Amino acid sequence: NLFIFFMLLLVLGNNFLIMFVGWEGVGLCSYLLIGFWFKNNNYNKAANKAFIMNRIGDLGFLLGTILIFTTFGSITFSEVFDKASSAPTGTITTIAILLFIGAMGKSAQIPLYTWLPDAMAGPTPVSALIHAATMVTAGIYMVVRSNIFYSISDTASEFVAIVGALTALFAATIGLLQTDIKKILAYSTVSQLGLMFLALGVGAYSSAVYHVTTHAFFKALLFLCAGSVIHAMGGEQDIRRMGGLKKGLPITFLTMFLGTIAISGLPPFSGFFSKDEILAHVYEHNKFLWFIGVVTSMLTAFYMFRMMFLTF
């Protein structure tokens, strides 16, 4: 409930300060969730890591907000966005990049991505909400909300697109070799967030939000299924020690299979439409980034089906 309260505050606030309060609040909830089993010291370390890495990003967000206030004399969205086109482009670029640094922390982009796989220490059902569907997409939401800065500044947009593409590819390659069922899903989340930022960088804001929505559903489903598998295995998370679970867990198998084909982008499931939108926009903008996006999508299908085969 605390998390939902802060998330609503983040989304419904009408200025950068209220958004920042919600932003910090969801970071706090993430910290409390990851350190839930506090008797395990590794989990405490993972919680600290998530909190500290988010602080690094949040400093960028805070500096961006301060710069917005000194430039426009206001931090209310409507007033700032009305005046944005009259400000010098250099200032706008700086604001956009500082805000994006905040998003890099919250939404786990290179180089601030390493906290998210460790965040899997928390209980799975809540991880499905916080670390798959809502909190990690706050960075996407923030960039979309202040999209006028990115529309004005080509430099900032290019930066967002390149970081997003690199993160998407890099996280997908790590996901190929993971053996922990939740870590595979965690790297998959980082990779999908990279694709969303790639979309934002080429100006496809609505497509990115569409992918946020479709991803929230199928990734939360996959996390809940992973929790079901771990529970059935008595706490075992290593997929190398599983196999043939389809007989014992037919319903989990079916639901996880649906989630897998959705995230792999097979029509007529939702992931196909949102990824297709993103790749179409990226193709118009830059062929090389489009190629990275396509390779990432193929890798996604590969490691997800690898997980399915080894588990079930």
What's the CA gap between 92 and 234, in Å, rounded? 53
The rounded distance, in Å, linking the Cα atoms of 169 and 293 is: 8
Q: What torsion do the CA atoms of 285, 135, 50, 236 make, to the nearest 10 degrees?
A: -100
46's CB contacts (< 8 A; 6+ apart) are 34, 35, 115, 118, 119, 121
pLDDT confidence of residue 63 = 92
Phi and psi angles of residue 176, each rounded to the nearest 5 degrees, phi first: -60, -30
DSSP state of 15: B
Q: How far apart are CA 200 and CA 135, in angstroms?
A: 18
Per-run averaged pLDDT (10 residues), the chain, 312 residues: 90 89 88 84 85 87 90 86 83 89 85 80 80 85 88 87 90 87 88 90 88 90 88 81 82 90 87 89 88 90 89 85
CA distance 227 to 238: 13
Cβ(150)–Cβ(157) below 8 Å = yes
Q: What predicted TM-score, i.e. pTM, was given to this entire model?
A: 0.87
Structure tokens at 149: 């800065």
Residue 235: CB atoms within 10 A of its CB come to 7
Three-class HEC string of 159-220: HHHHHHHHHHHHHHHHHCCCCEHHHHHHHHHHHHHHHHHHHHHCCCHHHHHHHHHHHHHHHH
Which sign, positive or negative, has the C-alpha torsion 146, 114, 294, 300? negative
Write the CA distances from 289 to 82, 149, 162, integer angstroms: 32, 22, 8
> What are the phi and psi torsion angles at 234 (to 5°)?
65, 35
Predicted local confidence at residue 45, as pLDDT: 86
Residue type, 183: K
Residue 33 structure tokens: 């969730």
Q: How many CB atoms lie within 10 A of CB 241?
A: 10
CA distance 150 to 201: 8
283-292 as b/e: b if 16+ CB within 10 A: eebbeebbeb
Q: Tokens 């389809």 belong to which residue?
A: 246
The single residue listed with the structure tokens 């934002």 is: 200
CA distance 4 to 252: 27
Q: Identify the DSSP state of 248.
A: T
Q: What are the backbone dihedrals phi and psi of residue 76, each rounded to the nearest 5 degrees, phi first?
A: -75, 130
Would you state the pLDDT for residue 88?
83
